[in-house]
Structure 1
């Protein structure tokens, strides 16, 4: 079986080349193939991995233009393996995710005002149970097309984490989180659903963003592009009959 690997390096200067490797393996994961190549053919091949169980998210990359976890993807003859998009390449299949993770801080995606007197029921837990399963693999970040036009977009996994805390009944005041995601956030999303399709945990960031939009409207916000379509003069009506924007 032959596979191709796009290899990138920034030292001593930025270079990119596609290398072809052949291995005598069948019905194995991409990570197993990469380990075989590194240990027996090319020790300079660079990638990251950890748990080998689709839990840590460290082996994120793309195959034939599709985001996958190397430890879960079953390799096929002729596959092209590439690093993730929207993040600077450090070397070969390793990218720098610092900026992607920084959006968690910009979105204030944490528990900030916990109410100790609120009892958490099983029904409460199910509201954001799946969002709590996010492993921060970054596949959704790589798949998101918004970064082609807006590098400051807060992004799918950060917005999912915002919904996880905004929907927590123990959160006394989530207004700061709603405020933080109005610019470069929920209204910039195209709702293309690419993030959902690649998520190894079956989390729908698209759905979470839609719920955050509804929550924002209830807090008095509106889609700025919608308002601008009317020359900034369009005015909606809130539930109590007063102007909402």
Structure 2
């Protein structure tokens, strides 16, 4: 099996021939590092598709190395939209900054009984493992490097729908700039999520909730011209 990996020291692909079949990409890279090239650098953790630390791009699509079955001719590169530290290892500080910008965590909550139906509404979003796959696939960063991002926004949707959360209004305010209105709703984030979360749909719902709270849609042009019964549109 031949596999090509983008190396950071020369920004070129290096091809390795490995006599392994029907193994995960992580197993294959471990073999390369221990048997062929100890300089190869990559990240991994749980090996169970839970921690999200082994996300890379394979043939132009985001994958978890511990889950993806390697194929002959695969090309592997680091996830996009972030700084490469070495080979397949990237700097995650930008991801952390966007989570802070969107207040994508439980900041304050109250003790109360939560029904099964209420928990079901946030169950899918709670499965986010912050693997950055949707962050890597998102094309918005090419135009707006300060975009909060699909990963953070889907977590915001999870917390503003948690009846125990007492600071939902602040979270909704935090995502009005460089947030929900900057998303193009292209859907590139949906198929790459290993947890089957649909950030695009969550962003749509956040837009609807924003409208109900009185936040204006900046993409709409309300600059005068039509008068309907005293209302100027």
Q: TM-score range by the shorter chain?
A: over 0.9
Distance 1:173 1:16, change over 3 A: closer
Q: Does 1:21 align with 2:30?
A: no
Distance 2:86 2:166 in 1: 44
In structure 1, what is the equivalent of residue 8 of structure 2?
Answer: 8
In structure 2, what is the equivalent of residue 12 of structure 1?
Answer: none
Q: CA deviation at 1:40?
A: 0.4
- Match of 1:32, SS state, is helix
Distance 2:106 2:225 in 1: 35
Q: How does 1:43-122 map to 2 (within 5 A)?
A: 43-116=38-111, 118-122=112-116
User: TM-score by structure 1 length?
Assistant: 0.90
In structure 1, what is the equivalent of residue 31 of structure 2?
Answer: 36
Aligned pair count reads 231
Which consecutive residues of structure 2, in runs of 5 or more, have no partner in the other structure? none
- Match of 1:196, SS state, is coil
Distance 1:2 1:159, change over 3 A: same
Distance 2:225 2:28 in 1: 57
Please list the CA deviations of residues 80-121 of structure 1 after superposition, one character each: whole Å capped at 9, or x if unmatched. Answer: 0001100010000111111112111111112234232x3201
In structure 2, what is the equivalent of residue 154 of structure 1?
Answer: 148
**Bigger mean CA offset, 139-148 vs 100-109:** 100-109
Q: CA deviation at 1:173?
A: 4.1
Q: Which of 160, 163, 182 does residue 166 from structure 1 map onto?
A: 160
Distance 2:144 2:131 in 1: 21
In structure 1, what is the equivalent of residue 205 of structure 2?
Answer: 211
Q: CA deviation at 1:169?
A: 1.1
Q: Which of 110, 128, 132 does residue 126 from structure 2 map onto?
A: 132
Runs of 4+ in 1 over 2 A off after TM superposition: 232-235
Q: CA deviation at 1:226?
A: 1.1
Distance 1:22 1:234 in 2: 67
Q: CA deviation at 1:172?
A: 3.1
Which consecutive residues of structure 1, in runs of 5 or more, have no partner in the other structure? 10-14
Root mean square deviation of aligned Cα: 2.0
Please list the CA deviations of residues 111-134 of structure 1 after superposition, one character each: whole Å capped at 9, or x if unmatched. Answer: 234232x32011110000011111
User: TM-score by structure 2 length?
Assistant: 0.94
In structure 2, what is the equivalent of residue 193 of structure 1?
Answer: 187
